[in-house]
Structure 1
Amino acid sequence: MDEDLTRMTREELLDEVSKLRQAIREHRDCSGHDLCWHHPALWSLLPEKSDPVPVVPEWPAFMRGCIRYRQSLDEQAPDAPRSDEPYRK
């Protein structure tokens, strides 16, 4: 799947690593409501060009997943700052 890497020069590999690191940083630095979004721009950095359509859970199951995700933030980042800022489109 990643055989393209063996054909890249050192400079091309360094450029690729820099591009991927920047994308990972942007994703990592998401905060607040931005944590909840679909991120096709990140996946578009992969060499295989596909645009998979996600399977979207029905609302009740989806909301249970959102609640579980938020609970996991309490467990994994208990000292993270909290906000009550509403979502703004």
Structure 2
Amino acid sequence: MDTDLDAMSREQLVAEVRRLRGGIRKHRDSSGQELCWHHPALWALLPERTDPVPVVPAWPQFMEGCLKYRQSLDKQAPDAPRSSERFKED
């Protein structure tokens, strides 16, 4: 894994680092409802081309996980701004 890096020039490696940092920043800067979504664009930054199918919890377990995630935000980011904006589908 990652043997493709061995053949890259310094310039190619720098370009790869910039591309990966851009993808990480895009994910990091997600906010609001964007935090809850499946993120195949982030995984697509990897060189291996797979299309993993996620294991999706049943609704009660899924909602329990959502609540735990939201509770963790209260602990980890207690001073983050809060929004009452409702979800909007594109």
TM bracket, shorter-chain basis? over 0.9
Shift of 1:58: 0.2
Q: Residue in 2 aligned with 1:32?
A: 32
Q: Residue in 2 aligned with 1:18?
A: 18
The 4+ residue runs of structure 1 with deviation greater than 4 A are none
Task: Give the TM-score normalised by the residue count of structure 1.
Answer: 0.99
Q: Provide the C-alpha distance between the structure 1 equivalents of 2:74 and 2:2, rounded to a whole number of angstroms.
A: 36
Q: Residue in 2 aligned with 1:88?
A: 88
Task: Give the TM-score normalised by the residue count of structure 2.
Answer: 0.98
Q: CA RMSD in A?
A: 0.4
Q: Residue in 2 aligned with 1:43?
A: 43
Deviation string 1:31-86 (CA, Å, 9 cap, x unpaired) is 00000000001101101100100000000000000000000000100000000100
Q: How many residues align?
A: 89
Q: Provide the C-alpha distance between the structure 1 equivalents of 2:51 and 2:44, rounded to a whole number of angstroms.
A: 8
Q: Provide the C-alpha distance between the structure 2 equivalents of 1:38 and 1:68, rounded to a whole number of angstroms.
A: 17
